[in-house]
Amino acid sequence: MAQGQMDKEISKIIRPIVLLICLMIFFSVLFKLLMQYEGREVSLLRCFYMVTITVSTVGYEDLLGTKDSNLLMLFTIISIMLYMVAVAYTISNFTAFLVEGRLKMYFLLKRILKRIKKMDQHYIICGIKDIGVFTAKELHKTKRPFVVIEESSAAIEELSHEIASLVSLQGDPTDDHLLKQAGVEKAQALIACLEDDKDNLYLVLAAKELNPEIKIAAKCNLPKNQKKLLKAGASYLVSPHMIGGMRIASELIRPYVVSFLDRMLRDEKEIGVRLEDMEVQEGAAFVGKTFSDLYQKSGILIIAYHNPKTGEFQYNPNPQEIIEPKMVLIFIGVPENRLALQKMLS
């Protein structure tokens, strides 16, 4: 449940409590005025005390002698009736909040928002009803921090059974307030996996407005919408139909390559072997050294790299190739390899 919704739920409890307190203060003042009208001088504290024991139904004694005045007795009867209604309304709201588990959800949301605030350069997945769920599993397996935004509580609950540490927000992914809660201003990338291209288009526009530097990968069902999504600010587009067609062809013409990639992606041992890429930063420790030096230090074999000068990829590079800033190295490794290499190249 989104923060705005939870705040509304909390207000349903706070509002009747505030109303009850205001009613008690009002009747205390009115009690004092009526006592003065009867020619008696009583402190406001005693009047408030009388109101309090009346509301609580404790009723130790008639502190103010209301039974000696028809006016005060009538006023007390009316106040008791109003108090009964106010207290019943307050208790019913609070009981419903507890019974329906909304109080637990409120504190759970607070913990989630606290975790998100600690995140930086994370990923945001909007929509997990189809391809988004596989994106979440992949990020989890490769130990990358991410936040899920999904309207369906059932979809979130189902995914949380597989990913116990899932960080999720329930609500409309196109809502600016919810995107801010997910940390869009600090995120490095957003994945737009909503069912309709129009929703993804609006989501891309909203995310880019909040963070112009964020990278966005968007699902695109119809080819005619590709230009619109790119113009809106999407960095990458994914067409499920195109990928499905290429997969069918690949199964027929290069079955062993497909089998190799499948085993890598569907490995049940949770070791997370993946094809990865990483950019060499200025001033990195291995700038000026060779791929052979990198292999001896890390055990990671570079299978290709992107040359920043030519804009081309070089496959099966020479082990004596010099590592230069802005090179993007491509390798096969587990998450631990990626994290270790990140320290060497950053």
Query: Would you place residue 97 in the very low, low, confident or very high pLDDT band (cuts 50, 70, 90)?
Result: low
Q: Furthest-apart CA pair in the chain: how many Å?
A: 106
Contact 279, 285 (CB under 8 A): no
**If you ran DSSP here, which 8-state letter would residue 325 be given?**
T
Q: Does the pLDDT at position 123 exceed 80? A: yes
Residues 38, 71: Cα–Cα separation, whole Å: 9
Q: Which CATH architecture has domain 119-238?
A: 3-Layer(aba) Sandwich (3.40)
Residues 236, 220: Cα–Cα separation, whole Å: 10
Q: Does the pLDDT at position 10 exceed 60? A: yes
Residues 327, 291: Cα–Cα separation, whole Å: 12
What stretch(es) of the chain map to CATH 1.10.287?
Answer: 3-102
Residues 121, 327: Cα–Cα separation, whole Å: 21
Which pLDDT value is given to residue 118?
92
Amino acid at 282: E
What stretch(es) of the chain map to CATH 3.40.50.720?
Answer: 119-238
What stretch(es) of the chain map to CATH 3.30.70.1450?
Answer: 273-345
Which pLDDT value is given to residue 305?
93
* Residue 280 CB contacts under 8 Å (≥ 6 apart), including other chains: 286, 287, 323, 324, 325, 326, 327, 328, 329, 345
Q: Does the pLDDT at position 41 exceed 60? A: yes
261 versus 311: which is more confidently predicted? 311
Reference 216, options 200, 233, 202, 193; nearest CA is 233
Residues 285, 327: Cα–Cα separation, whole Å: 14
Which pLDDT value is given to residue 333?
82
Which pLDDT value is given to residue 37?
81
Would you say domain 273-345 falls under CATH 3.40.50.970?
A: no
Which pLDDT value is given to residue 31?
81
Query: Would you place residue 231 in the very low, low, confident or very high pLDDT band (cuts 50, 70, 90)?
Result: very high
Reference 298, options 265, 255, 331, 250; nearest CA is 331
264 versus 310: which is more confidently predicted? 310
Which pLDDT value is given to residue 102?
63
Question: Domain 3-102 adopts which CATH fold?
Answer: Helix Hairpins (1.10.287)
Q: Does the pLDDT at position 254 exceed 90? A: no
* Strand 215-219 to 189-192 pairing: parallel
CB under 8 A, 24+ apart: contacts of 86-94: 86/16, 86/19, 86/20, 86/23, 87/20, 87/55, 89/16, 90/16, 90/17, 90/19, 90/20, 93/12, 93/13, 93/16, 94/13
pLDDT tens per residue across span 124-145: 999 998 899 999 998 998 889 9
Task: Name the average pLDDT for the chain.
Answer: 85
Which pLDDT value is given to residue 167?
93
